Amino acid sequence: MPKRLTRILAIETSCDETSVAILDCSKDDVIVIKNLVSSQIPIHQKYGGVVPEVAARSHVPEIVALLSEVPHDFDAIAVTRGPGLATALGVGVEAARTLAYVSGKPLIGVNHLEGHMASAWLNPENRKNWKFPLLALIVSGGHTELVLIKDFCKYKIVGQTRDDAAGEAFDKSAKLMGLPYPGGPHIAKLAEGGDVVAFAFPRPMLKDDSLDFSFSGLKTAVRQEWEKLKANNLQLKAHFAASLQQAIVDVLVEKTIRAAKKFKVKGVLVVGGVSANTELRRQLGERIEQDLPGVVFLPSDRSYVTDNAAMIGAAGYWRFRKKDFSNWKKLEVDPELNV
Ligand code: KG4
Ligand code: ZN
């Protein structure tokens, strides 16, 4: 008899991407049938960052357009309910509630951070090695967190940023350097031709025993150095970008390795927009191989690192298996939601 698959319709509108996905899931398998992502980056670029009201208004026509492009024979609806921008989240949640009412199918409110963690599970090799406990380094524009995953849907935050997120450190430095929003990929590109030791940027909280992060001191050091330099020469800019990127990568890698040792995990995930960074992936992978024998490295595929509905559908399926459903009459957004 063929294995019974559960079809999940997933919606993500927490920030500046509108996304709708359809996934067919079973206990050990998941097939992404569609993952439509409409990015608002070109809209927000002229403001140098995301404008919440503009984001929310832009989601409205997009969500309708994307929903009309996917099949409507699903078993459940998963939607991001937080954390994120309140008005942006509201667009996805209201669309999902309406669909749940009309279809009579169960509704699942998903935590965006759980979605980022589930993005690593979309990779078949990672699924084979999915043995608890796991550690996730979540690095995005709004979050820098180390999460201990004890089981499906069972988490403990063991480290987090006390101020800026890693993505913000990239984005704010890039803005200073006159690079477009979002700055992370531009810094990474520039850094390819640069020397990582050209500038001695601080590695905040590396000597501290806690597993927390802080990037605001680095931001200040970057600003002071840039003001002295005002680099208009491309090679200097490349050195600046490479040194700055290495400072961020050093802190992220070191704290992740420490946490993985402390909690004796079997695998380490790296997820979220900043995990698109080639140097972060490479250096974290190398350190795991060197320092943590037997521990597997489980990065999410580059196609799922930035915000997308497929990852929300995967997390939604974990919740579906636990019958963790929300009442369509009551589901509300929670902009401050944590894992
Ligand atoms: O996960 P994401 O799409 O959105 C949030 O939930 O925040 O992450 C976006 C962040 C931005 O800060 C962007 O600059 C950063 O991911 N990013 C990168 C790279 N690609 C995206 N940062 C460093 N290197 C990259 N290659
Ligand atoms: Zn995100």
> 215-272 pLDDT, tens per residue?
999 999 999 999 888 767 889 999 999 999 999 999 999 999 999 999 999 999 999 9
**Could you give the CA distance from residue 82 to residue 270 in angstroms, rounded to a whole number?**
20
The DSSP code for 245 is: H
Residues 15 and 161 in one domain: no
Specify whether 160 is located in the same domain as 286. yes
Q: Which ligand is nearest to the CA of 277?
A: 1
Q: What is the rounded distance in angstroms from the CA atom of residue 100 to the CA atom of residue 75?
A: 10
Contact 10, 20 (CB under 8 A): yes
How far is the centre of ligand 1, averaged over its atoms, from the C-alpha of 304 (Å)? 12
Q: What is the mean pLDDT of residues 87-115?
A: 98
User: Considering every ligand atom, which ligand is closest to the CA of 173?
Assistant: 1
The pLDDT assigned to 246 comes to 98
Ligand in nearest proximity to the CA of 170: 1
Distance 244 CA to ligand 2 centre (A): 22
Asked whether residue 227 is assigned to any structural domain, the reply reads yes
Residues 137 and 168 in one domain: yes
Spacing of C-alpha 264 from chain mean position:
24
Q: Whose CA is closest to atom 20 on ligand 1?
A: 185
CA–centroid distance, 5 to ligand 1, in Å, is 32
Nearest-5° Cα angle at 185, 181 to 188: 130
Place of tokens 């030791």: 197
CATH at residue 174:
3.30.420.40
Nearest bound ligand to CA 281? 1
Between 88 and 206, residue with greater pLDDT: 88
In a domain, 327, yes or no: no
Place of tokens 């921008």: 85
If one residue of 140, 171, 218 were mutated to test the ligand 1 pocket, choosing by the most ligand atoms within 8 A of its CB, it would be 140
User: Do 137 and 109 share a structural domain?
Assistant: no
122 Cβ contact list (under 8 Å, min separation 6)? 30, 32, 300, 301, 304, 310, 311, 314
Residue 3 — pLDDT band, cuts 50, 70, 90? low
Q: Which residue minimizes the CA distance to atom 16 of ligand 1?
A: 273
Nearest CA to ligand 1 atom 1: 273
User: Token match 């037997």: residue?
Assistant: 294
Whether 245 and 271 map to the same domain: the answer is: yes
User: Are 313 and 294 contained in the same domain?
Assistant: no
Query: How many domains does the chain contain in total?
Result: 2
Which atom of ligand 1 has the smallest separation from the CA of 167? Answer: 12
Q: Residue 84 CA: which ligand 1 atom is closest? A: 6
Query: Does a structural domain hold residue 152?
Result: yes
Share of the chain above pLDDT 90, in %: 88
pLDDT of residue 1: 46
pLDDT score, position 2: 55
Q: Is residue 328 part of a domain?
A: no
Nearest-ligand number for the alpha carbon of 165: 1
Q: How confident is the model at residue 61 (pLDDT cuts 50, 70, 90)?
A: very high
Specify if 98 maps to a domain.
yes
CA of 148 to the centre of ligand 2 (A): 18
- Please report whether residue 331 resides in a domain: no
CA-nearest of 59, 331, 268, 305 to 182 is: 305
Q: Name the residue of 44, 274, 278, 308 to mutate for ligand 1: max ligand atoms within 8 A of Cβ.
A: 274
What is the Cα–Cα distance from 264 to 238, expressed in whole angstroms?
38
Residues with CB under 6 A from ligand 1: 15, 140-142, 167, 170-171, 182-185, 188, 272-274, 276-277, 306-307
**Is 80 exceeded by the pLDDT of residue 4?**
no
Average pLDDT on 159-185 reads 94
Structural domain containing residue 143: 131-299
Dihedral through CA 209, CA 215, CA 217, CA 222, nearest 10? 140
Tokens of 315: 């997390």
Interatomic CA distance for residues 326 and 107, integer angstroms: 5
Nearest to 205 by CA among 265, 243, 257, 247: 247
More confident residue, 192 or 208: 192
Q: How many angstroms separate the alpha carbon of residue 323 from the centre of ligand 2?
A: 24
Ligand 2 centroid from CA 230, angstroms: 32
Whether 232 is covered by a domain: the verdict is yes
Residue (of 31, 33, 81, 89) closest to 56 by Cα position? 89
**Quick one: pLDDT at residue 189?**
98
DSSP secondary-structure letter at 133? S
Do 64 and 162 share a structural domain? Answer: no
270 plus 315 within the same structural domain: no
Q: What is the DSSP letter of 95?
A: H
SS3 content of the chain, % helix, strand, coil (to 5): 45, 20, 35
User: Does 155 share its domain with 252?
Assistant: yes
Question: Is the domain of 156 the same as that of 100?
Answer: no
Q: Give the rounded distance of the alpha carbon of 172 from its chain centre.
A: 18
Q: Does residue 249 fall inside a structural domain?
A: yes
**What is the whole-number distance in angstroms between the Cα of residue 171 and the centre of ligand 1?**
8
Same domain? 211 vs 154: yes
Instruction: Give me the torsion for CA of 317, 318, 323, 324, rounded to 10°.
Output: -100
State in Å: Cα 189 to ligand 1 middle.
13
pLDDT at site 5:
93
Evaluate the CA torsion angle 58, 59, 64, 70 in order and state its sign: positive
Q: Smallest Cα–Cα separation from 112: which of 76, 148, 83, 151? A: 83
In ligand 1, the atom with minimum distance to the C-alpha of 272 is 1
Q: Whose CA is nearest to atom 3 of ligand 1?
A: 306
CB atoms inside a 10 Å sphere around CB 297: 18
Q: Are residues 55 and 164 in the same domain?
A: no
